[in-house]
Chain A
Amino acid sequence: MGKMSAALASFALMGLATKTDHAESIVARHHPVGASTGYMRDLRGDWEAQVAAAWRVSSFAIELSALSEAELPSLAEYLRGPRNLPFRYISIHGPSKGRQMDEEKLVASLAQLVPCADGIVMHPDTMEDLRLYRPLGHKLLLENMDARKSEGRTPEELEESFSELPDAGFCFDVPHAWSIDHGMSVASNLLDKFRDRLRHVHLSSLSDDLHHVPLTEEDQRLFGPVLRRCLDVPWIFEAPLSTA
Chain B
Amino acid sequence: MEPSGVSPLKDLAEKAGRDFPHLFDARERTATGLAKRRASLQPLRHSLEASIVLMGSWGRAEVTSGSDDDFMVLLHGAEGSEVLPTIDEVSGVLKHFPSEDGPFASPVFSQKLVHQIGLDGDDNKNLTRRLLFLLESIPVTGEKVFGTVRDEILDRYLDESVKPYRPPRFLLNDVVRYWRTICVDFAAKEWKGPEKWGIRNAKLRTSRKILFAGGLLPVLECSRFDVVPMRAFLEEERGRPPTDRIARAFLENDASDEGARTLGAYDEFVGWMHQSDFREELESVTRDTAKTSPAFSEAERIGKELQAGLLALLHETSSQLAKVVRDYAIF
Contacts and interface: CB of A to CB of B under 8 A. Distances in A.
A231 B317 contact: yes
B260 A232 contact: no
Contacts of B309: 232
B224 A195 contact: no
B7 interface: no
Contact of A195 (B260, B305, B316, B318): B260
Max chain B CB contacts within 10 Å: which of A21, A192, A196, A230?
Answer: A196
B16 interface: yes
B183 to A, nearest CB: 18
A14 B224 CA distance: 8
B267 to A, nearest CB: 10
A18 interface: yes
A20 B311 CA distance: 16
Contacts of A123: none
Contact of B318 (A10, A18, A115): A18
Interface residues of B, number: 28
A229 to B, nearest CB: 4
Interface stretch (A23-31, A39-47, A141-149, A212-220): A23-31
Max chain A CB contacts within 10 Å: which of B18, B309, B316?
Answer: B316
Given A14-B224, A196-B264, A21 B319 contact: yes
A191 interface: yes
Interface in B260-313: 260-262, 264, 291, 301, 304-305, 308-309, 311-313
B255 interface: yes
Contact of A232 (B224, B301, B311, B320): B311
B17 A231 contact: no
Interface string A183-205: 00000000110011010000000
A10 B164 CA distance: 12
B319 A195 contact: no
11 contacts: A20-B317, A20-B319, A21-B319, A30-B316, A198-B257, A229-B257, A230-B257, A231-B258, A232-B308, A232-B311, A232-B313
Interface of A: 10, 14, 17-21, 24, 29-31, 115, 118, 138, 191-192, 195-196, 198, 229-233
